[in-house]
Amino acid sequence: MKLPNINFKSLILIIFIISSCNFWEPDNNPILPENAILEILSLDSIWVKDLNQKRQIAISVKPKLKTSDIYIECQITGSDDTSYFKLLDDGNSQILNDSSNYADSLSGDRFAGDGVFTRYISAHFASSIGVYKFVFKCINSNYLEVQPCSIYVQVRENTRPFIVRFNTPDSLGLFNDFYAIVQDSEGAFDITLVNLVRKEAYFRTEAVYSMTQVDDTTWFWRSSAGVGAGLCTGYYPWSVRVADWTLRQFNQFVECVPVLIYFENSPPIVNSVSGPDTIWLVSNERVIFHYLIDVKDPQTALDLDTLLLTISDPEKEIINFTYFDDGGLINGTSFDSIAGDGIYTAGFSVDSTSRTNVWFTFTWIPTDRSPQRGSPDKTHLIILHREGTTNGFNVDKSIKNNYININ
């Protein structure tokens, strides 16, 4: 069991709690006027780090009265700031200076005349922890006020989630399980993100994996073979990264102390080579043939890089060449039909100038991204025809994966 060492400050959040009685607070339950506010729209939470945070949300209301000569006025009770702010259905066209510093000077209304009145406000209205009352009034051009609609705003302290325990395997490989126990005093519903993070200090990069929730506090992730693609053998720091609704608003998170986990990169191997071992050449003709080299890697084909080829005869090494599993085309001819499938294609040609009755050795060496070389695999080829020369191999290296002309 590995315990994280966490010491974080609290965040302040503002949660709007809609009042009972369908938003209405009339005295003695009078009959609602015809042009009373019908509903409050998109009234979401304001999440702030402190009371001076300038983060804004849209406050929208929809009056029942459908006329063009009305506006909405909102007064906040409980705040040191006694100013009010207006909400307009103007399509964000007017500049307003009706509040001290918490309402945007532009209304923020999206569509003029759609019956929805909008204004952007920040948390600057809140001078301290407590409860605030928002009172909305619908006013026409004759300044005729109707029955107000109210909501309550509670400003309270938010606590960050914390990582109780982080269980890791001793080494990383196929089907290793990671577990994290995460809690939040506001409840499991407040946790919105639990990620497993692997860091690479040398490259200053990191890989992030989403963990799956098992129950209210337990999160789980199981490694697969491909997780080690591109990694060198060694120790890598792993940690758990957690965020709640408040932290997600600001791209912040809680992270435990990293745990070093050992990973061993196994080298790739040549699984099989398909191709001829004998070429019969008739005079004055050119023969084209291919080898298909199937390469396997314990970290999956994602870890494969290149395939190195050395061609030699009993007297000397003739040529070195490199192949790629990239699905490439040369002059419209497919040398590697599918990229990333672990099968490499090597093309060759022989003609009347090629030497005969000589065994050529093809040595295939796979490499991965770590980079690490696998064990060499050898195949042999003999060219048979009646007339030949003693020339060597010629290769046009200007085109990747081009035919190697054996002559």
- Listing DSSP states for 251-264 in one string gives T--EEPPPEEEEE-
- DSSP letter string, 86-125: EEB-SSS--B---SSSSB-SB---SSTTSS-EEEEEEGGG
Residues 15 and 154 grouped into a single domain: yes
Residues 341 and 307 grouped into a single domain: yes
Neighbours of 42 (CB within 10 A): 11
* Model confidence pLDDT, tens digit, residues 70-124: 788 888 877 665 668 888 888 887 888 777 667 778 777 888 888 888 887 776 7
Decide if 3 is inside a domain.
no
The more confidently predicted of residues 261 and 149 is 261
- DSSP letter string, 135-187: EEEEEETT--B---EEEEEEEEEE---EEEEEE--SEE-TT-EEEEEEE-TT-
Q: What local confidence, expressed as pLDDT, does residue 313 receive? A: 85
Residues 252 and 279 grouped into a single domain: no
Q: What local confidence, expressed as pLDDT, does residue 47 receive? A: 40
Instruction: Please report, for the domain that includes residue 379, its CATH number.
Output: 2.60.40.2550
Residues 123 and 171 grouped into a single domain: no
Model confidence at 247, pLDDT cuts 50, 70, 90, reads confident
Rounded to the nearest integer, the mean pLDDT of the chain is 75
Model confidence at 317, pLDDT cuts 50, 70, 90, reads low
Residues 127 and 188 grouped into a single domain: no
DSSP label at residue 213: E
Q: What local confidence, expressed as pLDDT, does residue 120 receive? A: 79
The more confidently predicted of residues 367 and 100 is 367
Q: What local confidence, expressed as pLDDT, does residue 254 receive? A: 94
The more confidently predicted of residues 92 and 1 is 92
Residues 117 and 19 grouped into a single domain: yes
The residue from 263, 296, 325 where one domain ends is: 263
- Residues 266-293 have a mean pLDDT of 89
The more confidently predicted of residues 224 and 58 is 224
Q: Residue 176: which domain range? A: 162-263
Q: Say which range, 112-121, 263-272, 329-338, has the weakest mean pLDDT.
A: 329-338
Q: For the purposes of burial, counting CB atoms within 10 Å of the CB of 80, is it exposed (0-12), middle (13-18) or buried (19 or more)?
A: exposed
Q: Cβ distance 134 to 126 under 8 Å?
A: no
- Residues 165-183 have a mean pLDDT of 93
Q: What local confidence, expressed as pLDDT, does residue 404 receive? A: 65
The more confidently predicted of residues 81 and 374 is 374
Decide if 1 is inside a domain.
no
The residue from 143, 158, 173 where one domain ends is: 158
> Does the structure show a pLDDT above 80 at 141?
no
The residue from 135, 158, 181 where one domain ends is: 158
Percent of the chain residues past pLDDT 70, beyond the cut = 69
Decide if 76 is inside a domain.
yes
Model confidence at 64, pLDDT cuts 50, 70, 90, reads low
Model confidence at 147, pLDDT cuts 50, 70, 90, reads low
For the chain, the domain total comes to 3
The span from the CA of 80 to the CA of 221, in Å, is 49
Residues 246 and 301 grouped into a single domain: no
Tell me, yes or no, if the pTM score tops 0.85.
no
Nearest to 49 by CA among 254, 247, 183, 193: 247
Q: Say which range, 58-67, 326-335, 396-405, has the weakest mean pLDDT.
A: 396-405
> Does the structure show a pLDDT above 70 at 37?
no
Residues 235 and 274 grouped into a single domain: no
Decide if 6 is inside a domain.
no
Phi/psi for 138 (5° steps) reads -100, 120
Residues 29 and 140 grouped into a single domain: yes
Cis peptide preceding 26, ω within 30 of 0: no
Residues 24 and 152 grouped into a single domain: yes
